[in-house]
Chains A and B, each alone.
Chain A
Amino acid sequence: MFESKLTFRGPGIFKDVVRLCVFTAIVMTPLIPKSAWAIDIGSVQVYGYIDLEYKQTTENKFNFTGPDDPNAKNGSFDQHHFNILMDITISPKLFVKTHVEFEHGINAGVGDASVVLEYGFGEYILSDWLKFRGGKMLTPWGIYNEIHDATPAFLSVFIPEALYRAEDRGGFSMMPKWNTGLAVLGEFSAGEKHSDFDYIVFVGNGESRSIVNENEHDDNRNKAVGGRFQITTHDNLIMAGISAFYGDKAISGAQLDERHFTWIATADVNWHNLNVHSEYGYSQLAQTKENAWYTQASWRFGRFTPYVRYQTTDPDVDIPSDNWTTYLGGLNVRITDALFFKIEWNENRRQRHNADILIDETQNYGEFRSAVAILF
């Protein structure tokens, strides 16, 4: 008996027709003349920097969170940053800004090497006092978080770790470095000869477990909110600001969250070639409270700017004698407007109950740091 292999699928044939039309549209679209949507190369500004560091400690150092320079006493070169930034003008009021970092001589995820989108967002400017952003952003927190990897943008080899890398000093991260979500920002003056104010407020995914990409998923029940407000005197002599962040941090997939609240106060004084700036930060994650502060002073002599900094972290205010304090002195040399050399000595004092100290590890150690950075 002959059985026909042809079947009449009835309504199913409609689906096939739709698929055929979509496929045809996709194939034919490139052949249809259209206006150019590509961005004019003149609308794209590209910036970046590359640096090379050298660090060496007086003692080897380990910490509980993993190998962190386990042979630091050997001294190491580190091609720390190769960063590319793009500022793209879509229209007079619409921009796209991106910042990609290739860190520690990226080598397929070995060690700390990584490729990171430091920020990628669209920005619409309604006016100078009202702008909108959406995307992944560096959390606006204090002076340094938004420029924490931009070596040419600050004097020292590293930003003040007491506040911005408390997780490496026996504590926990004071604030999330990044946030994906929406922000409203702007700046305005109180009058022609009065101070300038700038603000930013944001809402986003906040923090998640380390196995979750918080730039894609929010694995806690609440959205994070935060912001920063700064005032600068009209002659730019003084800048003062305050930043805050509040959000839940998931600690397990079972919707168990810890509340994280943090704030930081900033003061920055510029008088002729003298700069003094200081920040105090407080952070509470669940029941653990930590605080940290630093003060830095520098004076520019032509191309040479010596600087000193005192910084200290109290990783858990309820644990006595766990502070980590660093005394730092260094020199920044502006060889050209695009080439910088930095050299500094860090003297670290760790109290005996600091969580970063393993049994029998030396509590105090010195570290030599240097860096060459090229800006383009």
Chain B
Amino acid sequence: MKTFIHITALGLAFLMVVLWRPALAAGPVSAQPGDDLVIVVNNDNPLDVLSHIDIEKIFLGKRSFWNGGKRIRTCDLIEPGRNDQKTARAMFSRRYLHKDHVTLKNYWIKMIFSGKGRPPASFRRARDVIEFVSNHPGGIGYVYKENVTDMVKTLAITGMRVMR
């Protein structure tokens, strides 16, 4: 009986948190770190627009295939030598995945060791990201705007949220 009461109390507390927590702010999006990063895909990808939520699912390994059935291949841009908070991956993670780099690292550690998935391929230079995406029909990555070439195409992103 006591156990039942404990479980019920925990369950009610959980429900209260879910139902009463404030909604995320939906105000206008001001300039945020990572705004000069663009999402690039293979030129054969028919998409021109992708939602912010799809970006999040793709780069967290929760979506594995494009609508046409091609396997999604993700890659990260990491730049050695800078403060962790300012690498392209850190900015991308904060802007699009709503995780700081430590939380993201911990997320992928759990995914790897439970056999649920593998993180994106990592490259230290934008041109390597471009080459990977252009060589893989399902490829997707991100680079700075000034690094985009005609080997890939950029996607417009809809539904961006204000970062917490």
Q: Which residues of A contact B (CB under 8 A)?
A: 45, 47, 85, 87, 92-93, 97, 99, 119, 121, 123, 125, 127-128, 137-138, 146-147, 150, 152-153, 187, 189, 192-193, 196, 233-238, 240, 265, 267, 269, 272, 278, 280, 282, 291, 293, 300, 334, 337, 375
Report how many A-B pairs have Cβ atoms within 8 Å: 81
Nearest chain A CB to B158's CB is how many angstroms away? Answer: 10
Q: A153-B109, A282-B3, A334-B102 are in contact. List 11 more A-B contacts (CB 8 A).
A: A45-B118, A47-B112, A92-B71, A93-B71, A128-B63, A146-B114, A150-B113, A192-B159, A265-B10, A272-B164, A280-B6
Nearest chain A CB to B109's CB is how many angstroms away? Answer: 5
The residue of chain B having its C-beta at the shortest distance from the C-beta of A196 within the complex is B62
Q: Are B65 and A99 in contact (CB under 8 A)?
A: no
Complex CA gap A187/B116 in Å reads 11
Q: Are B17 and A269 in contact (CB under 8 A)?
A: yes
Choose from A85, A192, A233 the contact partner of B112 (Cβ within 8 Å).
A85
B81 at the interface (CB under 8 A from A): no
The residue of chain B having its C-beta at the shortest distance from the C-beta of A87 within the complex is B118
Q: Are A99 and B113 in contact (CB under 8 A)?
A: yes
Q: Are B10 and A147 in contact (CB under 8 A)?
A: no
- On chain B, the number of residues with a Cβ less than 8 Å from chain A's Cβ atoms is 33
Complex CA gap A47/B159 in Å reads 35
Complex CA gap A26/B164 in Å reads 65
Q: Are B14 and A240 in contact (CB under 8 A)?
A: yes
Q: Are B98 and A236 in contact (CB under 8 A)?
A: yes
By a CB distance below 8 angstroms, the chain A residues around B24 are 235
Choose from A45, A192, A291, A375 the contact partner of B109 (Cβ within 8 Å).
A375
Nearest chain B CB to A42's CB is how many angstroms away? Answer: 10
Q: Which residues of B contact A (CB under 8 A)?
A: 3, 6-7, 10, 14, 17-18, 21, 24, 51, 53, 57, 62-65, 70-71, 98-99, 102, 105-106, 109-110, 112-115, 118, 138, 159, 164
Choose from A233, A280, A282 the contact partner of B18 (Cβ within 8 Å).
A233
Choose from B3, B64, B70, B114 the contact partner of A138 (Cβ within 8 Å).
B114
Nearest chain B CB to A312's CB is how many angstroms away? Answer: 11
Complex CA gap A265/B10 in Å reads 10
Complex CA gap A265/B8 in Å reads 12
By a CB distance below 8 angstroms, the chain B residues around A147 are 110, 113-114
Choose from B6, B21, B62 the contact partner of A187 (Cβ within 8 Å).
B62
